[in-house]
Chains A and B, each alone.
Chain A
Amino acid sequence: MSSIRKGLAKRKFDALVIGAGGGGLRAALQLARAEANVAVVSKVFPTRSHTVAAQGGINAALANVLPDNWHWHMYDTVKGSDFLGDQDAIEYMCRAAGHIVVELEHIGVPFSRLDNGKIYQRPFGGQSQNFGGEQAARTCAAADRTGHALLHSLYQQNIRAKTHFFDEFFAIDLVKDDDGYVLGALVLEIETGEPLLIEAKTTLLATGGVGQIYRTNTNARINTGDGMGMALRAGIPLEDMEFFQFHPTGIAGKGMLITEGARGEGGYLVNKDGERFMERYAPNAKDLASRDVVSRAIYEEVRDGRGCGPNADYVFLKLDHLGSDVIKKRLPGIRDTIMTFLGIDPIESPVPVYPTVHYTMGGIPTNRYGQVVVPLAQSPEEPIPGLYAVGECACVSVHGANRLGGNSLLDIVVFGRAAGNHIIEFLKENRYHRPMHQAGVDQAMARLTRWEQKGDGDTVDGLRRDMQTTMEKYCGVFRTEELLKEGVAKIIEIQNRLPDVRLRDHSKVFNTARIEALELENLIEVSVATVCSALARQESRGAHSRIDYPDRDDEHWMKHTLFFREGRRLDYKPVRTKPLTVESFPPKKRVY
């Protein structure tokens, strides 16, 4: 160990960004433009990050198509969150949205266009004019490849700004000192298998979501909750992990995403009788109700025997009435995906769909500046000096119990930028690196050396599969006390098996088996947080549906969950119901 330590390579930067999706790259761009010395560490080449797969668009009340303003957007987001979202952060995000989207257009994002040359906008779920009135059209789109367009443009501008990239480096753990400052991170160069210590005055986690804890999901294989795992091991809690979004329209049995934009363009769902069943569940918004509502409706149709197909286990998404022009122009990417994975053309045939794990509403608790905040003696939200988090790995919380479509791209860009700005201020007041904390480095290094153990024992692949099927079975859309109790026991049993897992391949050069082992540790940490948080919350709110507690209970449960790794302890903190300038939206019954 000491010999490794002696030879440990080190680099120093003002700011370290871990993760190169939209959140990380937007923050890095802000920092590089301010001439901060910024390093971006990513386990994949930046344009492979999962932002690339976002389809439908990014919300901003530009009013290019229908009347709109940011305050209506704020109302929809608060309502969509089932009143668990923090209203100060939501106001900030919705106010910033217009400027943020224009800024993206200026850096080159190839948005689709209206005849007058302005950015094209489409209707999406949960959007209204005038605080719950007519459908709004708020989602700015680049066909159905908005995430791809946005991520590539952000990467391109970072090339221009000369951001320093560490491509294909895997972050092992944060390094903290005894005063609680975060000093950087230990990372692993995947190509050589050598560790590298990156010292930084600030560290930003932008590592994305964790859909891979479930077997069938729309997420990339890299979505393994690495930042969340690092935070838990650094003693930081995770917030609201019981809220996992199931996207209503994953390709049945396979999981590839079909954008909500397909329904925004006029597509709709039918059951085996050809009935537009959403009219029964959401008489006004119908197919463009919020995602949690539509997903549950599909489940109920299938459960009550009205599913389609030989096993009656999915419903159909009908697009064939839209005409080939609309589909080719506005939905070319999903047409491609449907033809590749189902061998059918949506211009001619309806598409079998089923709700699929999609988005992690919870995450590392932050304030609206992106600072990671934890409960300390003074308040429930004390910043950890030098540590920031943005995007899907964070919980700011603008999505609360259910995210609206089109708000995730917005979230990453708004708070990526905000965190960049706050880091610039922090750097002005913290001009020098603090001394490195050797014990912290040793601890991080131990995580790596643990996998050098040889012998038989479980495989990474085997334990991961057990975890994914357990989460699917015991922590799915509909939950009960009984099911969740069993789930907690089983996930803890899986966690207890982890120390006996062994790698067969101990080579150094581009050893992806070792990376998967390190990812599995993060996945299991987050699974435990998710199932424990879900068991404790005795109400139904947003994506968290308890059959045994079918109603929302604002009196007891309008509060954020905090899960701590040590002792699997749970704590709670109040929802921030006071916006920045406008009146608060008080909780009311949520109908669409």
Chain B
Amino acid sequence: MLFRIYRYNPETDKAPYMQEYDLKDAHPEMRLLDALIRIKAQDESLSFRRSCGEGVCGSDGMNINGRNGLACVTPLSALKEPIEIRPLPGLPVIRDLVVDMEQFYHQYRSVKPYLIVHDPEPETEYLQSPQDRDKLDGLYECILCACCSTACPSFWWNPDYFRGPAALLQAWRFLVDSRDQATAERLEGLEGPYRLFRCHTIMNCADVCPKGLSPTKAIGNIKKMMLEQMT
């Protein structure tokens, strides 16, 4: 099977280039990550991140035939040859398929992605009805792989101002948590023309999310809540 992989080592390369690899023992049931690991066994200079190999750690987000996804859950059978692999778009490339994710993490940290409760803590758990708990489904499962934010044109243009789909999904995860008591402060933090409102519902985020989550829907819910609070 033929692969074309983005290569760039800042120590030796003036510019990035695409390198071809022909993997003889690739078969269609293999995952892309397995193929990359075999390629690396032949050419150890190829760098990429990987860990769990089953789509829960979020390490191996990359651009696969033009679409962001996780290498470890992508079967080769789903891919047209030559399989073209590039780093996640829109973030600075450190080397090969490894991007600098600091902007992405910064935006995540900026939405205060943690439960805030002002009341004194009870001795037992906070009670939460199964219906209230259900509201967290489709939100808490995010693995921070950055496939969504790096597929978002609004994030490409304003990565320093626009929080991006992954961070906004987390913002909603805490806004909608019946235990959280920081609604006003969270909404205030998202005001202004950029942080939230740069989302133009292009929906690339929901389209590529390997966990089937919909940041677009979460963003819509935040906007709705903001309007409700204003009136």
Contact = CB atoms under 8 A, between A and B. Distances in A.
Interface residues of B, number: 54
Contacts of A156: 113-115
Contacts of A53: 52, 54, 56-57
Given A148-B143, A459-B44, A510-B94, A110 B136 contact: yes
A584 B45 CA distance: 56
Interface in A13-64: 44-45, 47-50, 52-53
B80 interface: no
A221 B144 CA distance: 18
Contacts of A145: 56, 140-141
Contacts of A459: 41, 44
Given A47-B57, A48-B58, 12 more contacts: A45-B59, A45-B105, A48-B49, A50-B51, A110-B136, A110-B177, A113-B128, A113-B129, A117-B129, A460-B44, A505-B45, A516-B44
A116 B127 contact: yes
Contact of B45 (A111, A113, A220, A504): A504
B133 A113 contact: yes
Contacts of A337: 54-55
A465 B123 CA distance: 51
A240 B109 CA distance: 41
Contacts of B203: none
B124 to A, nearest CB: 6
Q: What 9 pairs between A and B have smallest CB-CB spacing?
A: A117-B127, A108-B115, A156-B114, A513-B44, A505-B45, A105-B125, A510-B95, A48-B57, A220-B52
Interface of B: 9-12, 40-41, 44-45, 47-59, 73, 94-96, 98, 100-101, 105, 109, 112-115, 117, 121, 123-130, 132-133, 136, 140-141, 143-144, 174, 177, 179
A108 B112 CA distance: 13
A461 B177 contact: no
A45 B108 CA distance: 13
Nearest to A511: B47
Contacts of B56: 52-53, 145, 148, 333
Contacts of B100: 191
A453 interface: no
Contacts of B141: 145, 148
Interface residues of A, number: 59
23 contacts: A44-B49, A48-B49, A48-B51, A50-B52, A52-B57, A108-B177, A113-B130, A113-B132, A115-B129, A117-B128, A118-B127, A148-B56, A156-B113, A191-B94, A220-B52, A220-B53, A221-B50, A340-B55, A340-B73, A459-B41, A505-B45, A509-B11, A511-B47
B interface, by DSSP: helix, strand, loop or mixed? loop
B53 to A, nearest CB: 6
Contacts of B123: 102
B139 to A, nearest CB: 9
B144 to A, nearest CB: 6
B51 A222 contact: yes
Contacts of B114: 107-108, 153, 156-157, 159-160
A503 interface: yes
A517 to B, nearest CB: 9
A238 to B, nearest CB: 24
Nearest to B57: A48
A145 B133 CA distance: 14
Nearest to A465: B41
A256 B54 CA distance: 7
Contact of A107 (B45, B50, B115): B115
Contacts of B144: 45, 47
A512 B125 contact: no
A69 interface: no
Contacts of B129: 113, 115, 117
A374 B112 CA distance: 43
B94 A513 contact: no
A471 B80 CA distance: 38
Contacts of B121: 106
Contact of A152 (B73, B96, B140): B140
Nearest to B44: A513
- Please indicate which of the listed interface residues A47, A145, A257 has the most CB atoms of chain B within 10 Å of its own CB: A47
Contact of A507 (B40, B45, B174, B179): B45
B93 to A, nearest CB: 10
B130 to A, nearest CB: 5
Contact of B41 (A105, A256, A461, A512): A461
A507 B12 contact: yes
Contacts of A432: none
A430 B140 CA distance: 41
A516 B51 CA distance: 12
Contacts of A507: 9, 11-12, 45
